[in-house]
Amino acid sequence: MTQLPASIEKLTQLQSLNLSGNQLTQLPASIEKLTQLQSLNLGDNQLTQLPESLRSLDSLTELYLHGNEALGLPQEVLGPNQHDVIVKHATAAKPAEILDYYFRIRGAKRPLNEAKLILVGRGKVGKTSLVNRLVHDQFDPEEKKTEGIRITEWKLRLHGSEDVRLNVWDFGGQEIMHATHQFFLTQRSLYLLVVNGREGGEDADAEYWLKLIESFGGDSPVIVVLNKIKEHPFDLNRRGLQQKYPVRDFVETDCAEGVGLEKLRTVIERETDRLDHLRDAFPASWFTIKDQLAGMQKNYVNFDEYRQFCERHGEADAAAQEALARYLHHLGIILNYADDPRLQDTHVLNPHWVTNGIYRILNSDKLARQKGEIRLRDLAEILDPGEYPAGMRRFIFDLMKKFDLCFSFPDDDTHYLIPELLDKQEPAEAAEFTPEGCLNFQYHYPVLPEGLLPRFIVRTHVLSEGLPRWRTGVILKFEENRALVKADVQARKVFISVAGPLAGRRRLLAVIRSDLERIHRDIRNLQPQEMIPLPDHPEVVVPYQKLQVMEQQNVREFPEVVGNQVVTVDVNELLTGVDLEGTRRRERIPDERRQGVRLFYSYSHKDEPLRDQLETHLKLMQRQGLIEAWHDRKIPAGSEWGQQIDVNLERADIILLLVSADFIASDYCDDREMTRALERHERGEAVVIPVIVRDLNWKSAPFAKLQALPKDGKAVALWEDRDTAWRNVSEGIEKVAEELRRRSGRAG
């Protein structure tokens, strides 16, 4: 369809209209007559302009214009597409803000002509020498290794007349840094993967990095550089890599002899020219703001200062200021963490200041000696106090927490553990978990990212308190059961063994799988394979997905070769041994009927360790699909945190108030969240459950008439056995969730 029929204006009661995937070039002004329209999807058309009348659709809450390149709307303004809004519960961009931006840039605007070039690869492959040759035409045979990230500005000229700026991010290759790098690998960038033949295994090395780029950089184009080619001649399986990854070209270089550098420049210019977002339209005022921020002497400013800065330079619109901050984050000019309340006072940051601070901590001798344990006061020795004053040191740790790089101990929030720097030695206790005496499960990875197990240790630290932790493994305890979770980096496998009472083994396995799957979802296209070892022959593993297909096709058993014999495997018995009751049945229910009861945490950030403990005890309900829990740490990157909190508070079926003196004293929790929660409770729209986490006099609080948990409103912190307290809380929440699901007719 190339144009809308005139009769469209008669559909005045229409509430949703999906016109995506057509060939529309314009919309009729009469679209303003669709006064009841709430959702309009115009994605993937050929629109060249929008009518002013779109702004009169007052009921419109969702507007999707993705895939209409001629409109010049950047992703940061468009927001998530309709699929992500529906499936991932992302928050749609406000139509008014999209349209305001569009009509403002129609006047004074020019193409951005700026992009981010990211160099990755192992240490000593010559990344920094390559940057120096490309940008400055210099070579230093004694070049020092890059500690952390080095950022360089590179000016190119395309087609002989078009000036373009590349922000070049050169990542240090030390192994300890790989897990940290991934949080700065952004989409909409051009990547240079640098490898050499000094140590062998080049194909596996290239595969590792390409998978990492794919996971965090999406479909960003990659140029593979075969460096030091004169010193160590080698080649790669070029066709095989190009079939699997977005590799645009391979270039052989040698910085010492100047080999291949002109070709590499040409390829970089060609791929930069092809970047979709390179020429996004920028309002004139944004260029001034961008350049001023890039040259700013301050290492950080709070968001109010940033807004004032924007106003002084011609951008007074709040939504446009937020969109610009997200845009500059993707370009690598600033780092913007408006999505995290922990970091809300310091949104706009100098990337050098952030990355150098984190890398100095990770590389410190003191941290290495202390096997990853560090206290807030230690930063006075590690970081320059002039550059990192006392008031900003906790911020660095909060940023590392955001990235799952560390956690604070429950009894002291100034005492942290960074699992990446734990001892490498596996403790003797690990040998107690014999496969024959445990419930076993495995994950096999095409590429096992550095830091996956340390990140898992961060996410499950509540369960490993007082138990052995090491760099590639951990022992966990939940209820009466214990589990060993460890990675074999060379084999690219994670092994899980659960011991203890038979009745509780599946429960602990479900908690472990829940956390690992959450990490897997965060790493795009990781695609690990779940494997179940045979109980009587744990050396033989069967793919979980294969068993699921067999069950769905009513195949009850199958033969499996074990050594020199053939054994019969019972499909249902093997699956039931690792799955909680009802889990697989629920997976076969259509998505629209599968939604769990939505649960919202309202809490003081000083009670975050207690929230972590409760969340651990609710993971079984999440695994079974009974609940879908949300708290402010789940706000997606780039989202405005206050808006996200409001949206999820309004969606919630159950609202948990984690009550403590700090919760009562928090203006945001008390005045905003609790007030609105109690209003929804009074109207029957949601159920509010106070959970008394620390002792205080709450009998005169606004929620005092509600049924509080744990039993008799006794604070969790006062219970002799805290696990018993949390179990009492989780059972109370489960009863409410079951009743709400029964009333709503949701499938389980």
**Which CA distances in Å does 362 have to 195, 342, 344, 368, 702?**
24, 21, 24, 8, 46
Do the domain assignments include residue 201?
yes
Compute the distance between CA of residue 468 and CA of residue 158 in angstroms, rounded to an integer.
Answer: 56
Residues 61 and 137 in one domain: no
Q: What's the CATH number where 487 sits?
A: 3.30.310.200
Residues 123 and 102 in one domain: no
Q: Cα dihedral angle (602, 606, 610, 614), rounded to 10 degrees?
A: 20
pLDDT of residue 163: 92
For the chain, the C-alpha Rg in angstroms (whole number) is 28
Residues 440 and 472 in one domain: yes
Q: What's the CATH number where 688 sits?
A: 3.40.50.10140
Q: What are phi and psi of 501, to 5 degrees?
A: -50, 135
Specify the pTM: 0.80
- Burial class, 32, CB count within 10 angstroms (exposed 0-12 / middle 13-18 / buried 19+): middle
Structure tokens at 442: 């495995």
Residue 718: DSSP 8-state: G
CB 660 within 8 A of CB 684: no
**Which CA distances in Å does 287 have to 280, 327, 332?**
12, 12, 15
Domain count, the chain: 5
Residues 449 and 507 in one domain: yes
CB 302 within 8 A of CB 345: yes
- Close Cβ partners of 384 (under 8 Å, ≥ 6 residues apart): none
Nearest to 507 by CA among 591, 621, 368, 425: 621
Query: Rounded to 5, what percent of the chain is helix, strand, coil?
Result: 45, 20, 35
Do the domain assignments include residue 245?
yes
pLDDT of residue 461: 94
pLDDT of residue 465: 92
487 DSSP β-pair partners: 494
User: What number of residues does the chain have?
Assistant: 748
What region, left, alpha or beta, does residue 200 occupy, with left being phi > 0 and alpha being psi -120 to 50 degrees?
Answer: left
- Burial class, 85, CB count within 10 angstroms (exposed 0-12 / middle 13-18 / buried 19+): middle
Three-class SS state of 320 = helix
Nearest to 573 by CA among 553, 558, 589: 558
Binned average pLDDT, 10 residues per bin, the chain of 748 residues? 83 92 90 92 93 91 92 86 84 89 76 90 88 92 76 90 91 66 75 87 88 84 94 92 95 93 96 90 85 83 87 86 84 75 65 86 91 94 92 87 86 90 95 95 91 93 95 95 96 97 93 93 86 95 95 94 93 93 65 74 90 92 88 65 82 94 79 87 95 92 92 93 92 94 72
pLDDT of residue 183: 64
Residues 454 and 377 in one domain: no
Q: What are phi and psi of 649, to 5 degrees?
A: -65, -40
Nearest to 74 by CA among 24, 19, 112: 112
Residue 126: DSSP 8-state: S
- Burial class, 213, CB count within 10 angstroms (exposed 0-12 / middle 13-18 / buried 19+): buried
Residues 118 and 241 in one domain: yes
Residues 218 and 332 in one domain: no
Compute the distance between CA of residue 654 and CA of residue 607 in angstroms, rounded to an integer.
Answer: 19
Residues 712 and 733 in one domain: yes
Three-class SS state of 88 = coil
Amino acid at the residue 271: E
Residues 695 and 683 in one domain: yes
Structure tokens at 409: 């101990």
408 DSSP β-pair partners: 416
Q: What are phi and psi of 53, to 5 degrees?
A: -65, -20
Q: What's the CATH number where 243 sits?
A: 3.40.50.300
Do the domain assignments include residue 662?
yes
Residues 446 and 415 in one domain: no
Compute the distance between CA of residue 449 and CA of residue 445 in angstroms, rounded to an integer.
Answer: 9
CB 534 within 8 A of CB 560: yes
Three-class SS state of 332 = coil
Q: 202 is in which domain, residue-wise?
A: 114-273
Do the domain assignments include residue 128?
yes
Structure tokens at 90: 């992302």
**Which CA distances in Å does 483 have to 436, 442, 733?**
14, 13, 26
- Close Cβ partners of 242 (under 8 Å, ≥ 6 residues apart): none
Domain boundary among 571, 587, 603: 587
**Which CA distances in Å does 473 have to 95, 452, 453, 516?**
48, 10, 7, 13
151 DSSP β-pair partners: 169
Helix (H) or strand (E) holding 366: helix 365-369
pLDDT of residue 342: 61
Three-class SS state of 590 = coil
- Whether the ω angle into residue 710 lies within 30 degrees of 0, i.e. cis, is yes
Q: What are phi and psi of 401, to 5 degrees?
A: -65, -40
Longest dimension (CA), the chain: 79
Domain boundary among 107, 122, 144: 107
Compute the distance between CA of residue 15 and CA of residue 34 in angstroms, rounded to an integer.
Answer: 8
Do the domain assignments include residue 1?
no
Q: What's the CATH number where 317 sits?
A: 1.10.10.2200
Residues 382 and 483 in one domain: no
- Triad 141, 142, 146: Cα angle to 5°: 110
Do the domain assignments include residue 487?
yes
Strand arrangement of the beta sheet that strand 687-692 belongs to: 627-630, 597-602, 654-659, 687-692
Nearest to 135 by CA among 168, 112, 157: 168
CB 137 within 8 A of CB 159: no
**Which CA distances in Å does 618 have to 270, 294, 611, 614, 653?**
52, 45, 10, 6, 15
Q: Residue 298: how many CB atoms within 10 A of its CB?
A: 11
Residues 465 and 545 in one domain: yes
Compute the distance between CA of residue 429 and CA of residue 425 in angstroms, rounded to an integer.
Answer: 12
Domain boundary among 230, 248, 273: 273
Compute the distance between CA of residue 293 and CA of residue 310 in angstroms, rounded to an integer.
Answer: 10
